[in-house]
């Protein structure tokens, strides 16, 4: 199969969250199964052209955003595993400091134009490259317009006659909803497409809705989230998803175990494995020193690495910090994003300097040191489409403490002393007391070394590899291809 991934981020080039991990990893596994997979992302300023040896291709292309003609070039390099990555290079939209907005967490005012441009440019780039995809796999609201263009403005474009689309929801909370009166003409759609079963969504033009309405197949990143978003977790999109229930797949994300590997991880002061994790103590000691904490092996050390977003359960985390201050517990938090969360948690750090250390930047190396050094990993998300951080934590023998929602419910199972099963600690009511009780349950087990070693062993053994998920993606792509063939009006008319 020829598969084109189009997304707003991809590791190692640019990352704000799990989307980038998926785009940088899933293609490698598809390629190993014999598919020709390519990736298109924007060329943001922060992507280092020299470091990644980006080569400019000899095309001068342009698309219209409203009445403005926007020129762009394509740059390219190879991702590990021999995957061509194409970067859409346009200085007006992408040559700026941030990815989606400035560092206070506020989105750029012209994001709607930026992703109209990107979606159109990705379509034109595909044609210029003469890469005829069987599947264009679009991710999140930034690329929601692509399936809509293929079924409207590009319906008669022979280049895409054999192309089906798959649209993946990585987080339904971000939908890209804009004023229709100005956005519809800017994007180049007809008012005939602005109907409740197409682009319209509660009197707005919603890019995710566009993707959901026009794509051949929809997926999301865990089976439980696929069910949840057809109900209250759907953020208004539940009815659309109920209508398309038969086309909705929930496929769990995996992680790249060659990258997140405590045996080979160069970011750690000492390496360890599931068979011998004595050196995890050295990683903990190093982290305690770095955080300015008392270095005590017996202290229960907890970590959290995530975007500063209320989705991640920061209300529970911040309430818990005071309540846990009388216990022998230290907490280290690494995150960036929402300024309100940043200021609030820094305030708590001043109150409890011996208990809480907060890092407020994006720091890949430190994230590895936290995953490896702490005993437990906090992820009390209000909702969580899949979550990669808890899966990464498991691979370092770090025990997740999570709310039972979305992908957390699919990957973390509560430890039971009666049968020694379970790879973490789970609470199932999103309430402060439940979260604190859950942490204290983990704390009690931590203080019983033989029981704790069982949970740690179970964590190490829980592997969520892409190998299984890729098989499900292949099946889904085949359904999308067959769906396209039967639905295509040209085939019907022959």
**Interface ranges with ligand ADP (CB under 6 A):** 17-19, 21, 305-307, 334-336, 362-364, 367, 386-389, 392
Closer residue to ligand ADP in complex, CB, 13/452: 13
Report the greatest alpha carbon distance in the chain.
76
Provide, rounded to whole angstroms, the least separation between the CB of residue 401 and ligand ADP: 14
User: Residue 407 Cβ, how far from ligand ADP at the closest point, in Å?
Assistant: 8
Q: CB–CB of 291/321 below 8 Å? A: no
Question: C-alpha distances in angstroms, 181 versus 144, 188, 306, 379?
Answer: 18, 12, 36, 40
Strand partners, 133: none
CA 388 to CA 381: how far, in whole Å?
12
Three-state secondary structure along 24-43? HHHHHHHHHCCCEEEEEEEC
Give the nearer residue to ligand ADP in terms of CB position, either 21 or 200. 21
Residue number, 18 or 313, with CB nearest to ligand ADP = 18
Place of tokens 């390219």: 76
Nearer to ligand ADP, 2 or 344 (CB): 344
Q: Which is nearer to ligand ADP, 206 or 411 (CB)?
A: 411
Q: Which is nearer to ligand ADP, 37 or 304 (CB)?
A: 304
- Write down the residue that tokens 């994006």 correspond to: 362
The pair of structure tokens assigned to 71 is 């020129």
DSSP state of 465: B
CB of 18 to ligand ADP, least distance (A): 2
Q: How far is the CB of 68 from ligand ADP (least distance, A)?
A: 32
209 CA to centre of own chain: 19
Nearest residue by C-beta to ligand ADP? 18
In angstroms, give the least distance from the CB of 29 to ligand ADP: 17
Q: Which is nearer to ligand ADP, 125 or 386 (CB)?
A: 386
Beta bridge partners of 10: 14
For the bound state, the minimum distance from the C-beta of residue 266 to ligand ADP, rounded and expressed in Å, comes to: 16
Quick check: 146 and 210 in contact, CB under 8 A?
A: no
Q: Minimum Å distance from CB 333 to ligand ADP?
A: 9
């Amino acid at each position: 199969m020829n598969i084109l991934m189009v997304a707003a981020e991809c590791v190692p080039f640019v990352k704000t969250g799990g989307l980038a991990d998926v785009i940088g990893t899933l293609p490698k596994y598809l390629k190993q199964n014999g598919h020709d997979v390519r990736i298109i992302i924007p060329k943001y300023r922060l992507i280092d052209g020299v470091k990644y040896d980006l080569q400019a291709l000899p095309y001068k292309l342009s698309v219209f955003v409203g009445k403005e003609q926007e020129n762009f070039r394509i740059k390219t390099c190879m991702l590990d595993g021999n995957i061509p990555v194409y970067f859409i290079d346009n200085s007006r939209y992408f040559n700026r400091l941030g990815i989606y907005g400035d560092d206070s967490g506020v989105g750029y005012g012209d994001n709607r134009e930026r992703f109209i441009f990107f979606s159109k440019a990705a379509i034109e780039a595909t044609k210029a490259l003469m890469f005829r995809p069987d599947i264009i796999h679009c991710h999140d609201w930034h690329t929601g317009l692509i399936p809509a263009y293929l079924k409207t403005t590009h319906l008669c474009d022979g280049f895409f006659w054999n192309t089906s689309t798959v649209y993946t929801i990585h987080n339904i909370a971000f939908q890209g909803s804009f004023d229709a009166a100005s956005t519809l003409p800017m994007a180049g759609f007809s008012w005939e497409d602005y109907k409740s079963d197409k682009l319209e969504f509660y009197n707005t033009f919603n890019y995710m809705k566009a993707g959901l309405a026009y794509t051949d197949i929809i997926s999301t990143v865990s089976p439980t989230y696929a069910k949840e978003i057809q109900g209250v977790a759907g953020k208004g999109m539940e009815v659309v998803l109920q209508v398309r229930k038969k086309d909705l797949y929930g496929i769990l994300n995996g992680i790249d175990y060659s990258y997140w590997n405590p045996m080979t991880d160069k970011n750690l002061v000492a390496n360890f494995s599931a068979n011998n994790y004595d050196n995890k103590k050295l990683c903990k000691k190093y982290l305690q020193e770095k955080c300015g904490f008392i270095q005590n092996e017996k202290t229960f050390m907890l970590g959290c690495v995530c975007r500063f977003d209320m989705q991640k359960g920061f209300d529970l985390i911040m309430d818990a910090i005071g309540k846990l201050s009388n216990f022998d517990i230290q907490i280290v938090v690494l995150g960036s994003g929402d300024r309100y969360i940043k200021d609030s948690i820094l305030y708590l750090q001043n109150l409890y300097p011996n208990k809480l250390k907060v890092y407020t930047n994006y720091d890949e190396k430190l994230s590895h040191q936290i995953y490896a050094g702490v005993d437990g990993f906090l992820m009390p998300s209000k909702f969580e489409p899949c979550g990669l951080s808890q899966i990464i934590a498991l691979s370092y023998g770090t025990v997740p403490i999570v709310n039972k929602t979305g992908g957390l419910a699919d990957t973390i199972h509560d430890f039971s002393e009666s049968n020694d099963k379970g790879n973490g600690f789970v609470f199932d009511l999103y309430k402060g007391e439940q979260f604190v009780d859950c942490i204290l349950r983990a704390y009690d087990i931590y203080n019983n070394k033989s029981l704790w070693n069982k949970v740690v062993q179970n964590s190490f053994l829980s592997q969520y590899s892409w190998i299984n998920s890729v098989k499900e993606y292949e099946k889904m792509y085949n359904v999308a291809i067959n769906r396209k063939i039967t639905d295509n009006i040209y085939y019907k008319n022959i």
